[in-house]
Amino acid sequence: MMNYFTLLKNKASKHKDKLFLRINQQNYSYEDIVSAAKRLGEQIKLEHTIVLIYSDSLLFQITAFFAMMKAGNIPIISHYDLPPAALKKMLMKNQIQYLLSDRKQTLAFIVNDETVENAFLATTSVEIGKSVDPSICMGALSSGSTDVPKVLFRTYESWAEFFPIQNQIFKVDVNSILFLHGSLSFTGNLNAVLSVLYEGGSLIVTDLFQCKTWLKTIQEFQVTTIYLVPAKLKTLNKCMNAPITSVNMIFTGSQLLFSQTAIELKEKFINSSIILYYGTSELNYITYIEYDELIANPLSVGKPFPNVVVSIEDEYIYIDTPYHVDGVELPYTVYDRGYFEKQQLIFLGRKENVMNKGGFKVSCVKVEEEIKKIPKVDNIAVVAYQDDKKGSEMAAFIVANATIDKDYIRSKIKGSLMAIEIPKKFIFIDEIPLNTSGKVDLQKLKALL
C-alpha cells in the first residue's frame, strides 16, 4: 500500500543528494531523511498501530512520521504544547496505546517504555487500541481552540490525489524552495511539506519566531514560495526594508488576509502572486482567491478548487469533496457561515464569530475589515460575547497608534457600518495574542473581558 515513506523513498532515488529539508540552520538531503527514517522504523515492532509522535523537534517530528509508515504504522504528530492532562484525555478518547518521543517524560499515563534510536516508545494506560481501516496511513490533529484536539484519519490518496491540483495553483514544482514556520502537527504545515515532497522540491522549515532570521534565510536560499498564516505574514512585513525578488508565490489561510497586508506584501515581494485559501482540517482546501480579487472584495475567500463543490444551507457552508478525512458524511459543514456573491464565497466567520443581535446576523469578520481600514490601526480582533443585561455584544481589541481612541474609531466606522454592527467595547492592547498555530487566541481575548 502506498504511503508517504514510499513516496519519500521514490523521490530519494531521483534526488538522492538534493536538499530536502533545512531545519533551523541544518541541511538534510532526501537520502539523509530516508536513512534516518529507515533506522528508526526498523526498530518499531508494531504493525498497523496508531502511534502519537510527541516532540518539539521538527527534525524528530518528520523523521518519526516517515519511520512509523516505514514500519507499517499510523503516525500522528502531536501538538507539543498540550498540557499533560489534555494529552492524556486525547490518548484515552482516541484509544491510542503508543507514544513515541525523543525525550523522557514523567507522565502518569505511561505504563512502560523501551528505548529506540535516540528516543523511547511508550505504552500508555489505554488497554485496547483503536482499530482503523487498512487504507488509513496517517492521522492529524485539529487545530481549534478546544483543549483536547480531535484526531482525524486520512488515506494516502485523500491528500496525494489533490497535490497535482493544489501544486499547480500554488506554483509548487521540482524547483520550488518553500519556506514555512511552526510545528508539523498543524495540518497546513504538514500538507505543505508533503506537497513539496510530491514534486521533489526543497523545504526551509523553522520553529524560531525571528522574522529577521526568516528574511536572511529567504534571501540566502532564494526561496520561491512562502506558506505562512496571515498573522505571521504581517510580522514578516514589518521586518522588511528592501524588496525580495526570488519569491513567486505566497499562499496563506486559516484567517482572512486583510487587504492592506496583501498590498504591503505585493509591494515588497515584487514578483510574487498572492493567494488566500479557505479550508478545514477535516476537508482540505475548499476555495481560493488571488490578489486582485482579494483587494476588490476583502471578505471573499474566492471560488472552489477543482473537484470541490460548495453550497449554502441555512447560511452555513457545506462542502462535497473527495479529499476528506475518514468517517465524514458529505456534504459536510464545520458550521462556518457565508454566502455567494458573483460566484465568490463571502466568508462571514466561524460559528462563534457571527453574532445574532435582535434577529440580525452581525459578522465579526466584516467589522474587523472595516476597522482595519482606519489609518493608525495596526491590528484588530473582534470577539462576540454575552452581556448579562443586553445579550449578544461585540468587543474590538485594537493595536494602534497611541494618538487614537475609541471615539475616533467610532467616528470612522459609523459611515460604513450600521449602528447594530458597531462594537460595544473598544479595548486597546499592545498585541493580539496568537496560539501556537498562529491563529488569534480567542480564549485569551475573552479572558480580558
- The Cα 128–Cα 50 span in angstroms is 11
Question: Residue 21 corresponds to which cell in the numbers above?
Answer: 529539508
**Predicted confidence (pLDDT) per residue in 229-263, tens digit:** 888 898 898 888 889 999 999 999 877 777 888 89
Phi, psi (rounded to 5 degrees) for 296: -70, -35
Give pLDDT, residue 129.
85
- The Cα 285–Cα 281 span in angstroms is 9
DSSP type of residue 19: E
Give pLDDT, residue 143.
63
Domains annotated on the chain, with CATH: 4-157 (3.40.50.980), 209-349 (3.40.50.12780), 355-448 (3.30.300.30)
- The Cα 434–Cα 429 span in angstroms is 13
Each of the 449 residues of the chain gets a pLDDT tens digit; together they read 799 999 999 999 999 999 999 998 899 999 999 999 999 999 999 999 999 999 999 999 999 999 999 999 999 999 888 778 888 888 998 999 999 999 877 777 888 888 888 899 999 989 888 888 999 999 998 765 456 788 999 999 999 999 999 999 999 999 999 999 999 999 999 999 999 999 999 999 999 989 999 999 999 999 999 999 888 898 898 888 889 999 999 999 877 777 888 899 999 999 999 999 999 889 999 999 999 998 888 888 999 999 999 999 988 999 999 999 999 999 999 888 899 998 899 988 777 777 766 667 788 888 888 888 888 888 888 888 877 666 778 888 998 877 888 888 888 888 888 888 888 889 999 888 877 667 788 788 888 87
Give pLDDT, residue 6.
97
Q: Which of these, 343, 235, 238, 367, lies nearest to 293 by C-alpha position?
A: 343
Residue entry with cell 480564549: 443
**Predicted confidence (pLDDT) per residue in 313-337, tens digit:** 988 999 999 999 999 999 999 888 8
Q: How many CB atoms lie within 10 A of CB 192?
A: 24
| Percent composition of the chain: helix, strand, coil (DSSP 3-state, to 5) | 30, 30, 40
| 405, β-bridge pairs | none
- Count Cβ atoms within 10 A of the Cβ of residue 350 and give its class: 0-12 exposed, 13-18 middle, 19 or more buried: middle
Q: Which of these, 292, 287, 299, 254, lies nearest to 166 by C-alpha position?
A: 287
Give pLDDT, residue 220.
94
DSSP type of residue 427: E
Tallying the residues shown for the chain, one arrives at 449
- The Cα 81–Cα 84 span in angstroms is 9
- The Cα 326–Cα 343 span in angstroms is 29
CA dist 68 to 124, 301, 424, Å? 17, 36, 51
